[in-house]
Amino acid sequence: MTAPAGDHVSASDEPVQPVRVLVADDDADIRDLVEFKLAQAGYAVEAVADGASAWESFEAHPPQLVVLDVMMPGLSGIDVLRKIRESEHPGVPVLLLSAKSRDSDVDTGFAVGADDYVIKPFSPRELLHRVNGMLARAR
């Protein structure tokens, strides 16, 4: 297993809350395995199945990082990303996870404000490395 990245102990040895990650994907397989992978790495993961729930969760309790599927029913990942960038917490790192692999799709993701873009099929291990890196840079 990868070394925990969601620190549970601060430099002063005082317990701190684990890093919260919001995962939104309408595919139960992807949702479950990303949730499991990140939870195993020490993150506190909330997984939802659509864009509207993702936005609702983000507004209610902004996470430290968001993993968004692009193609979801109702609000797409791009729609949610736009809302995040216009919200009171525009700086939350967002990783888009999508089967849309054309250059124009990736361009759109970054143009709207994604911090990273991972194409499906993806390596769960690589996804974790990217999440760790994004959070490290955000600190």
Partner 1 sequence: MLTFSAQLLVGATIAVLGTCLVLVIVVIAVRMHRQGRQKRDEMLLAPLRGPLITVASGEDDDGAATEQLTWATGVTRDVLDAAIVDLLTKIRGLPAEQLVGVLTAHGAVDRAKADLHHRSLVRRAKAAQMLGLAGGPDAVPLLVGALGDSTVQVRNSAAWGLGLIGDASAAGAVLAATGGEQGGIPASTSAETLQSMGVGISDVLATAFDDGDARTRMVAAHVTGDRSFTRGLPALRRLLADDPDLTVRETCATAIGRLGRAEDVTVLARHVAVDEPLSLRRACAAALGELGEAGAVPVLATLLDDADPRLAEIAASGLLGLGADGRAALAGREDTAPVRAARTVAELQRASA
Q: How far is the CB of 99 from partner 1 (least distance, A)?
A: 8
CA angle 83/127/98 to nearest 5° reads 50
CB neighbour list of residue 60: distance below 8 Å, 6 or more residues apart: none
**Residue 76 interacts with partner 1 (CB under 8 A): yes or no:** no
* Residues 96-115 interacting with partner 1 (rule: CB under 8 A): 107-108, 111-112
Binding partner 1 (rule: CB under 8 A), the pick from 26, 40, 52, 62 is 40
Give the nearer residue to partner 1 in terms of CB position, either 15 or 121: 121
Give whole-number Cα distances, 36 to 7, 24, 28, 59, in Å: 17, 13, 12, 23
Among 13, 14, 29, 88, binds partner 1 (CB under 8 A): 29
Measured in degrees and rounded to the nearest 5, phi and psi for residue 98 equal -150, 155
22 with 48: CB under 8 angstroms?
yes
Q: Counting contacts by CB under 8 A, is residue 85 touching partner 1?
A: no
- Residues engaged in binding partner 1 (CB under 8 A): 1, 27, 29-30, 32-34, 36-37, 40, 107-108, 111-112, 120-126
